[in-house]
Amino acid sequence: MLDVTKSFKAPSPIQAACWPIVLSGRDIIGIAETGSGKTLAFTLPALMHIRGQKEFNVKPKGPTVLVVSPTRELAMQTQEQCVAAGKSSGIKSVCIYGGVSKDDQRRAIRSGVHIIVATPGRLLDLLEDGSCNIDAVSYLVLDEADRMLDTGFEEAIRSILRKTRKDRQTAMFSATWPESVRKLAHDFLDRPVKVTIGSPDLGASSNVTQIVEVLDDPRNKERRLLELLQDYHKTRKNRILIFALYKKEADRIEQTLQRAGYNVGGIHGDKSQHIRTAALEAFKNGSVPLLVATDVAARGIDITGITHVINVTFPLTIEDYVHRIGRTARGGQTGIAHTFFTVNEKGLSGALINVLNDAGVKIPDELRKFGGTVKKKAHSIYGDHFKDIGGEVKQPTKIRFE
Domain that holds residue 122: 2-196
Residue 93 has pLDDT above 60, yes or no: yes
Question: 246 and 146, same structural domain?
Answer: no
Separation between Cα atoms, residue 264 and residue 178, nearest integer Å = 36
Does 135 have pLDDT greater than 90?
A: yes
* Residue 13: per-residue pLDDT: 93
Q: Is the pLDDT of residue 9 over 60?
A: yes
pLDDT of residue 201: 67
Identify whether residues 302 and 368 lie together within a single domain. Answer: yes
User: Considering 196, 224, 249, which residue would you say is the last residue of a domain?
Assistant: 196
Whether residues 190 and 220 share a domain: the answer is no
Q: Of 116, 141, 142, give the one whose Cα is nearest residue 131.
A: 116
Pair 14, 151 in one domain: yes
The pLDDT assigned to 236 comes to 96
CA 153 to chain centre: 15
**pTM, rounded to two decimals:** 0.70
CATH number, residue 370 = 3.40.50.300
Confidence of residue 32 (pLDDT cuts 50, 70, 90): confident
pLDDT tops 90 at residue 344: yes
Instruction: Please determine, for residue 391, whether its predicted confidence score (pLDDT) is greater than 50.
Output: no
Q: Which residues contact 227 (CB under 8 A, 6 or more apart)?
A: none
Phi, psi of 16 (to 5 degrees): -60, -35
Shared domain for 192 and 245, answered yes or no, is: no
Is 54:77 a contact under the CB 8 Å cutoff?
Answer: no
Asked whether the predicted pLDDT for residue 372 surpasses 80, the reply is no
Residue 331 and residue 229 in one domain: yes
User: In the predicted model, is pLDDT for residue 395 greater than 60?
Assistant: no
| pLDDT tens digits, one per residue of 173-225 | 987 787 888 888 899 899 999 999 887 766 677 889 999 999 999 999 999 99
Asked if 355 and 348 touch (Cβ cutoff 8 Å), the reply is no
* 74-83, 88-97, 334-343: which is most confident: 334-343
* Rounded CA separation 63/118 (Å): 12
Name the domain count of the chain.
2
Question: How many Å apart are CA 153 and CA 96, to the nearest integer?
Answer: 16
Q: Which residues pair with 142 in a beta bridge?
A: 68, 172
